[in-house]
């Protein structure tokens, strides 16, 4: 992460909710800005789009509701990828679905649970800052990789995975669009595939702040130390195909292709769906789920 403290915008028309969030995050490294309604929030976002690392947004507000704020953010070139954490007392499935469709990929329900709130905020900000760093890596590399017809790579660590994501993205005409998707799939292949960290284990590790430590421990464990993720790239006339194969036992991948309301309140589990929606023209898991192939249509770029 950059050295400067992440800045959060807390948008809620109830002063008490603003106070609770501020208290829960008091000991964190976050700088907090507040807005009392959607119109005020949008004015702040539009005036300083580079300032914010995440927005905690109430759904029901006067002067502009949360859904309209999200829709405006998604249409703004500098705000479209800033994570929105929708906070609401309405936890009905339809409300969550409408928020997910608008682009709120993180969710909190009122009354807030302190541990859950901190875990969700940490995850959203970390994801955003990591993706910004990947885009910076992409922008610093030479587009000559778009001439590459085929290649094969292997990675072992999460750092390897993210570095390769930035490298392979430059084989595409719009690398900023695909780099997040490559990173998500490669990281999944390492942590869930080769290192066998289950979904439930990652939820627990995120909540206790021990996820990174556990990854390092497993990388040093002889059971996992020699496992690698293999990546192959092949260019056809009008498309680029990238296949990612890990040495794990696979998983039930189908539920993760869509933004599932049941996982909207978790600190993770949205990466595959985001990759499918935002990065790739096709994504297909093969066999037991330890192989995934993505397609980028070159003629449509």
Query: What is the full DSSP assignment across 145-170?
Result: GGG--EEEEEE-SHHHHHHHHHHHHT
For the chain, percent of residues with pLDDT exceeding 70: 94
Residue pLDDT, tens place only, 176-213: 889 999 999 999 999 999 999 999 999 999 888 899 89
Output 59 or 237, whichever has higher pLDDT.
59
Whole-number pLDDT of residue 300: 52
Judge whether residue 92 has pLDDT over 70. no
Judge whether residue 134 has pLDDT over 70. yes
Residue pLDDT, tens place only, 45-70: 999 999 999 999 988 888 899 999 99
- For residues 141-167, average pLDDT: 85
86/68 Cα distance (integer angstroms): 12
Considering only 131-135, 223-227, 250-254, which range has the smallest mean pLDDT?
A: 131-135
Q: Taking a C-beta distance cutoff of 8 angstroms, is the pair 292, 243 a contact?
A: yes
Look up the CATH number of domain 142-297.
3.30.565.10
Residue 65, Cβ density class (10 Å: 0-12 exposed, 13-18 middle, ≥19 buried): middle
DSSP letter for 112, please.
P
The sign of the CA dihedral 174, 176, 177, 178 is positive
Residue boundaries of the structural domains of the chain:
7-131, 142-297
**Fold exhibited by the domain 7-131:** Rossmann fold (3.40.50)
Whole-number pLDDT of residue 142: 61
Considering only 68-72, 92-96, 259-263, which range has the smallest mean pLDDT?
A: 92-96
- For residues 144-167, average pLDDT: 89
Structure-token pair, residue 229:
């993720």
17/27 Cα distance (integer angstroms): 17
What pTM, to 2 d.p., does this model score?
Answer: 0.83
Give 139's pLDDT tier (boundaries 50, 70, 90): low
Give 301's pLDDT tier (boundaries 50, 70, 90): very low
Whole-number pLDDT of residue 286: 94
């Amino acid at each position: 992460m950059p050295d400067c403290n992440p800045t959060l915008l807390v948008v809620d028309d109830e002063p008490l909710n603003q106070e609770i969030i501020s208290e829960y995050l008091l000991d964190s490294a976050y700088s907090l800005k507040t807005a009392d309604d959607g119109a005020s929030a949008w004015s702040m976002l539009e005036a300083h789009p580079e300032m914010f690392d995440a927005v905690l947004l109430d759904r029901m507000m006067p002067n502009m509701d949360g859904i309209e704020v999200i829709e405006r953010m998604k249409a703004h070139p500098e705000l479209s990828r800033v994570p929105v954490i929708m906070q609401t007392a309405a936890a009905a499935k339809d409300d969550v679905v409408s928020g997910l469709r608008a682009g709120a990929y993180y969710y909190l329900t009122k009354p807030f649970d302190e541990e859950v709130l901190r875990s969700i905020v940490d995850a959203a900000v970390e994801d955003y800052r990591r993706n910004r760093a990947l885009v910076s890596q992409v922008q610093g590399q030479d587009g000559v990789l778009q001439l590459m017809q085929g290649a094969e790579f292997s990675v072992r660590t999460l750092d390897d995975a993210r570095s390769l994501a930035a490298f392979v993205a430059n084989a595409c005409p719009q690398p900023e669009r695909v780099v997040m998707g490559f990173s998500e799939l490669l990281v999944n292949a390492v942590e869930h595939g080769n290192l066998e960290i289950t979904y439930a284990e990652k939820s627990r590790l995120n909540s206790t702040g021990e996820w990174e430590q556990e990854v390092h421990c497993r990388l040093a464990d002889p059971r996992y130390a020699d496992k690698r993720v293999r990546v192959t790239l092949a260019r056809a006339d009008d498309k680029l195909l990238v296949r990612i194969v890990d040495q794990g036992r696979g998983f039930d991948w189908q539920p993760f292709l869509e933004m599932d309301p049941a996982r909207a309140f978790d600190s993770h589990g949205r990466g595959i769906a985001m990759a499918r929606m935002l990065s790739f023209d096709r994504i297909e898991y093969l066999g037991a789920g330890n192989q995934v192939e993505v397609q980028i249509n070159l003629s449509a770029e």
